[in-house]
Structure 1
Amino acid sequence: MDGVREKIERVGGVRARRARLDAEELGLLAAIAADVGDDRGVVEELTPVLRVSTREVERRIEDGRSVVRRMPQLHAAMQNGAVESYGARRVLAVVDPLDDDTARQVDGLLAEKLVDAPETAWQPGNLAQRVRRLVEKADPDGQTERARRARAERKLELTPGEHAVSSLEVSLPAERAGACYSRVDAMARSLRHGGDRRTLDQLRADVAADLLLGRDPGVSPPEAAAMVYLHVPVDAALSLSNDGCELDGYGPIPAPIAREIMTNERSIWRAVLCDPGTGEPVDLGRRRRRPSAVIRELVRVRDRECVMPWCHRPARHCDHDHEHPWATNDNGGDGDGDAGGSGGGATSVANGGPRCRRHHRLKDHPGWNTRYNPVHGTRHGHGNPQWMVPHRQPARAPHDPAQAAVLA
């Protein structure tokens, strides 16, 4: 396994070199564009050099200008091998609507946040989510207005693909899109549990098509199948602050948008009981292996997504996993992929966590031993080889009891 570890380290080195080359390319493109001034002419000249489409050349030139002029510390991070062009592009897409001064402010705040951040913070999805939070603080009014405008521009698009397959993409407000996916996913899983041999991906696609075409998909949606959770601190719900609002499976959203979702006539309010000192959901221990619906729901509300730092699968689509394996005796197992342990672990909120099916199975893979602390939101890995899983930042936990808005 030492050879595997060495190869993994070499892959990391290759990634760092690629990041530095991406930074050099963007810097050169920005300099060329500044020297020439005629974007159309330089784009045509660079297209055969870069061997990409003219549209991609235009995007790279614009990315180069933006990162050099508006996000110099992000550019420096690229030069240091920390982030590649894809991650930088995800960040630039978030700050694109900002004026130069605000963009530079976000750039500085991001650099401060990443000084002691774990490696997973540099994963493009995590990086973009962190930047959204910073943009919300730096330009709250603008963020809200952009969200309203984007929600008003919802649409349906058909994109022809290869091999006689096309994609149907629906652009919707995030909470409605999440609710639609939850409903389709729940119906697909019901069919799968009923013995249908199609894969879950095939079932989701077929169920969605049947619903759109007015056909009977052959299954009724389970109760509350279209739920999504909106985490809103009490002070934000009362318009006393505009911080801490997040939609599970999506990330931070502007507080005014969260309050609009809360007051939607199709939304249902449900209180989430929390410890008044910590803001954590109440632990409801049980002496049986299978968690009650209440325990599952509290764990999903608390953790929001798969506990692996780089996985953003919503908790409502994950398995409920015992962190310390449940067992009826010292040698027992819990039957859901957890090996038994001395004394076993309780079926409780404190001992539970959401893991997507892939990472639930990986948990028991040889050489991949992990621990999750649901109170502090930290993860550790150990074994042979030494798989280290960096710290996972806990969700914001207000000291006042929180509320969850559920869109049905």
Structure 2
Amino acid sequence: MVEGKIEHVFDMPHPSPTAPTAADLDRALEHLATLDGAGGGEADQIALIASLERLKGAIAAAQARVTDALARARTRHEAERGIPAAKRGQGLAAEIALARRSSPHRGSRDLGMARALVREMPRTLDLLARGQISEWRATVVVRETAVLTPEHRGQVDTEIADRLASLGDREAAAKARAIGYRLDPGSAIRRNRGARADRHVSLRPAPDTMSYLTAFLPVEQGVACLAALRQAADTARVQGQPRSRGQVMADTLVERLTGQTHAADVDVEVHVVMTDSTLLTDDPTPAHVVGHGPLHAALARQVVRDAPRAYLRRLFTRPGAGDLVATDSRRRTFTGELRELLVVRDQVCRTPWCDAPVRHADHVTPAADGGPTSLANGQGLCESCNYAKQAPGWQSHHLPGDRHQVLVTTPTGHTHVSTAPDPPGWWLPPHESDVGDIEHCYRSPRDCLPHVNPMLA
């Protein structure tokens, strides 16, 4: 059977005298990399899909056990070194995120889930290890019991385990929540209080220069907001407003939030980074909106053309490299145009696989250690990554080269390289005159126009 190939890859003696190492798993990965199922019939291919799904669950369970073991070891070692209890494990979630190539927020969630499964929900963990439930279904059960005590969480684990493999994700969440409410009626109040404390507003990019403005609100407030917008739209439509109901609601939202008479009158600063040829010609090279993402060249020109006021600021890149050029600053903190240039260069948090907005302008080499306040020694980080970087054992170093790169070393000695993203159009070939003393450009950007490709922001 083709299915046997999957089982053979991870076939370890049981009980195994030695646990499989990372090298063993890498060899198994090489076998899986060649698997396509093309040699079997449809029944064999379905069997392979089922086996691979079970295998994903087993891998997720193994990750949870290893993650919890790492957390216990880190806590124990830091306690032996006299680190206060409140600071033990600081930065660990960020390390896990780097290892799993995910965001720090996801790493924190994975760490919490591992602790809950291993220490409080062993039967759910066992179902996951045997591939009878998916990692997401286990996540749902852990999430729905987050406000319970360890004892009550363990009771939910016991009561739901026999049915969990046959439940859908929504049904599993509802069952876990219902059992929790029965065991601890006060948990509903704590969930509600916690949810209300988490209210927030967020913005995500959408296609075609649009965006999603999302508000996480208590239900009565959300319903009231929607009702008010609908009422305003209905009134406008009755009065002969040609805009659609949805358009009126969207415009009314903008007008009431910003205090403007008309939604199109909103006056905010938006950084649009593009090449000079994109702005002044029909060059199709896309632009980039800081905090949003890529923007079609024609739409970028339209945004500039339709703006009530537009200011041009020249940025300079090294020919053929795409690294932004700037002068050093003697200031202790990144402020003014230097900070703006840093945010334009990095676009999002520089930690690998973290796409959070830039909140902190950070010194790669700390200022306390003599690191200058310069573009070369700066990087944009989100709050979570900047705080994780301050934990014991973390190190960051600026790597020399044409592109701005930072070498991040975690407390376990693992290294990750963060490279600044490409600015729009950096790959365009420079003119023949775009050669010269690049180091001179770093000392005096005002004089380096003949030596670099101009960018506009």
- Give the TM-score normalised by the residue count of structure 2: 0.40
Q: Name which one, 1 or 2, has greater alpha-carbon Rg.
A: 2
